[in-house]
Amino acid sequence: MAKLEMNGSYPLTRESIDKEITKKSAGNYAFGYLKDETFYIKYVGRSDTDLNNRIKHGVGDYKKFKFSYASSPKNAFEKECQNYHDFGEDKKLDNDIHPDRPDSSNWECPVCDIFD
């Protein structure tokens, strides 16, 4: 069974984000909602540089968030791809397309061959 392996869930507010995400770092996040103690994922994403700032883009659109720091932008990209394949595609995420890689990289998705 697929797992997000993220901290949370927390209310998706600026105050909560600033309280929980205390270092400037690459990382991953999931937006969603809580029902009967279960976190339902609606969107997965990443930041290559500033996770706190990136998550704030979801305030007002979603109720809850989960997050994890990444040791590098490449690791954040690979985890976002894995999360997209595990929880997205035909599973009704709000993500419209496969995660993109930075223009200056030649990173490959660890799951599919979209960049070949």
Q: Which of 20, 24, 22 is nearest to 10 (CA)?
A: 20
pLDDT tens digits for range 90-106: 678 999 899 999 988 99
pLDDT tens digits for range 6-35: 999 999 999 999 999 999 999 999 999 999
Helices (H), 1-116: 14-20, 51-55, 73-87
In order of their start, the domains of the chain are 7-87 (3.40.1440.10)
pTM of structure: 0.94
Query: What Å distances lie between residue 88 and 15, 19, 57, 80, 107, CA to CA?
Result: 28, 28, 20, 11, 20
pLDDT at 49: 96
